[in-house]
Structure 1
Amino acid sequence: MQTFQNVPPLRNFVRLAGTNAQIEEELGPLAALLGTWKGSSGWNLVAVPNGAEGFLLLIQNYTETINFTAVSAPVPNRGGTIEQMVGAVLYDLVVTDNLTGGVLHVENGMWLNLSHIEPQKVELTAVAPIAPPSQTIARQASIPHGDAVLVLGNSFISQGTPAIADNSSTPEAGPNVPLGYLDQYLQAQTKFPDFDVKNPNATLRKALTNQQIGKVTTFVLDTSSLLNIPFTTQHVNPNNFNTTFWVEEVTAGNTSFLQLQYTQQTNFNFLPRFGEAGLIMWPHININTLVKQ
């Protein structure tokens, strides 16, 4: 029988659940996400192919519930002389239409803290301090349209009302767009006065009116690499995804609570551009403001 002697154990070779404090330390900024969040002021804006009409603009006001649950021990990635101890948060969400009550969207995945890199404990020689990776946060998402995404980015902490930048729902259709071609967007603004159709992020800023904001944890992530089933690739070819999340400590009147806001955009590509080569890029935008339950 073969035996092994004097071999140092790998860190967390057997991964046992830590205390709440230890779990939060491994999660780093992702600990701010933990818990259940709910909000009924979500908006979905998406243009889809529509036969001879070219495209159809869909806008829906929705309610969303997101559950974030910590993985109770870090997951090791071995690098030979170093290892990465990944803190992970499981999440699942359900989106329902405020008008019909029907389910619009379901999703599950993980958020990952990639910042903990250290010498691997089987190494007997000293290793110089290791810089964290340039992108310290990841989000893995899977949705039943047949799409999966791994998006990378970073986080930071600030004080006071976050700087939520403008965004635009206007398609990139080329220099010679025919007059009236995008009238569906103008008509939608009349139909949905509570939603800034042209600049959806302005709706997020409006939600902060009369709120005093303290600590804010911000997550900024983007990617140009998406995995899609052939049907989706053939008809709308999503090729970019970006998102920003803000976890905010809020005081409004005599009430204090935690608030989660996000904006995210997936770029769809279909129908020829006007006056130049390529396909029109149609922004698919989602925003919401949620409160921790």
Structure 2
Amino acid sequence: MSTIFRAAVPQPASTSELGPLENLPGTWMGTGFSLAELPDHEGGSPFFLRLNATQETLTFTEIGAPILNRGNLQDDIVFRGVHYLQQIADAQTGEALHVENGMWLYVPATSVPPSGPTLVRMADIPHGDSFMAQGAPVADVPGAPEIPPLDSTPNGSVFGDGYFPPPGTELPPGIPDEALRDPAVLLRRALKEQTVLNTTTLDVRTGPDDVRNIGFVVENANATSVRAALWIETVRRPDGTETLQLQYSQHSILRFPAGPRPDPAKQIDWPHIQVATLIKQ
């Protein structure tokens, strides 16, 4: 007589092992705003400003097993994380604007290097960009977050501040004028009429060698840095029930050549900014 063995479906880990990431698994949906200056060689202009009101779906799935990293100068560490898929479309036309997949990891404290618990965000974008951003979490702070401003002004020796905003700039319907200079006003506006009970902050940024791009991107609109903050908020509704809300701001730098290479004096750094307020479904 033969015995048949059936492999069991892996049991999900307790979300408490995800630390500050524990509320991320699931699907989040909402709206936001994207500001990006893009090169325009075909159009005969150095750049053009693209502004979009956005609709977004952001999905997190827990990585189904512990992640073991073996130590040489210290004992092994074990940590957890989540996969994510981000999909952003124009709120008016439905045109796809951005897709990104990656992971968020929660790494325990280490002795080599000496560090407290850290966050890692690893991302891939189909334009030909990858990055790794790191930071430290701040979990379960009472009340709403203090959301800092985001400066959308370019920095460069050729055009400088006087080039922004370009003449004739029009914001999408529903986006206030002040969001052009500081898109984070949309996040603060969303919080004004809300009762936020507590907030977990996930704040990460890239280091000098943490962004990688294909050759075309490097030569035409080189992505050089990324910093992002996610605020996971417990919100009390007017009826007394609670829901989870995720707000984020992301500030990337795209470096454009404004003259023949390799003249570093003829470059301009344009911020690419994304903000959104999403509700867990």
Q: TM-score, normalized by length of structure 2?
A: 0.84
Partner of 1:257: 243
How many aligned residue pairs are there?
A: 261
Alignment equivalent of 2:70, drawn from 69, 75, 78: 78
Are residues 1:291 and 2:279 paired?
Answer: yes
CA deviations 1:207-258 (Å, max 9, x no partner) are 1121011110001100132010000001011111000000000123114211
| Cα deviation digits, residues 137-191 of structure 1 (max 9, x gap) | 0011111101111111111021111000011111013497485x32427723487
1:238 aligns with 2:223: yes
Q: What amino acid maps onto 2:214 in structure 1?
A: I
* CA distance in structure 1 between the aligned counterparts of 2:256 and 2:155, rounded to whole angstroms: 11
Aligned alpha-carbon RMSD (Å):
2.6
Say whether the 8 Å CA contact 2:101–2:123 is kept in structure 1: yes
- Measured in 2, the distance between the counterparts of 1:265 and 1:149 equals 13
Unmatched runs of 5 consecutive residues or more in structure 2: 1-8
The corresponding residue for 1:69 is 61
Q: Whole-Å Cα distance in 2 between the matches of residues 43 and 185 of structure 1?
A: 20
After superposition, residues 209-248 of structure 1 pair within 5 angstroms as 209-224=192-207, 225-248=210-233
- Contact residue 216 and residue 246 of structure 1 kept, 8 A: yes
Consecutive unaligned residues in structure 1, runs of 5 or more: 1-15, 118-128
Residue 20 of structure 1 and its aligned partner are, at CA, apart by 4.3
Q: Counterpart of 1:142 in 2: which secondary structure?
A: strand
Q: Residue 12 of structure 1 corresponds to which residue in structure 2?
A: none
Partners of 1:192 and 1:56 lie apart in 2 by 21
Residue 101 of structure 1 is matched in structure 2 by 94
Q: Is 1:197 matched with 2:180?
A: yes
2:218 is paired with a residue of what secondary structure?
Answer: helix
TM-score under structure 1 normalisation? Answer: 0.81
| Paired position in structure 2 for 1:282 | 270
1:272 is displaced (CA, Å) by 3.8
Residues 50-71 of structure 1 deviation map (CA, whole Å, 9 limit, x = unaligned): 2332110001111111111111
Structure 1's 38 and 221: CA in aligned 2 closer, same or farther, altered over 3 A? same
C-alpha distance 131-234 of structure 1, shift in aligned 2 (>3 A): closer
C-alpha spacing 1:18/1:145, structure 2 compared with 1 (3 Å): same
Q: Does residue 268 in structure 1 map to residue 254 in structure 2? A: yes
- Superposed CA deviations along residues 5-40 of structure 1, whole A, max 9, x for unmatched, are xxxxxxxxxxx955543xx2321111121111000x
CA distance in 2, matches of 1:190, 1:71: 38
Corresponding residue for 1:6? Answer: none
Percent sequence identity over matched residues? 34
Contact persistence 1:168–1:198 (CA under 8 A): yes
Determine the structure 1 residue equivalent to 2:149. 166
Per-residue CA deviation, residues 232-287 of structure 1 (Å, 9 max, x unaligned), is: 001011111000000000123114211000000110111449xx935111000000
Which of 1 and 2 has greater Rg?
1
For the pair 1:154 / 2:136, whether they are aligned, the reply is yes
Match of 2:17 in 1: 26
* SS of 1:208 mapped into structure 2: helix
Measured in 2, the distance between the counterparts of 1:185 and 1:137 equals 41
Amino acid at match of 2:131: V
CA distance in 2, matches of 1:212, 1:174: 45
Aligned partner of 2:84 in structure 1 is 91
CA gap of 1:186–1:209, structure 2 versus 1, over 3 A, is farther
The CA deviation string for residues 78-136 of structure 1, in whole angstroms up to 9 with x for no partner, is: 0145111120111112112111112221111111011165xxxxxxxxxxx88963561
Secondary structure of the 2:277 match is strand
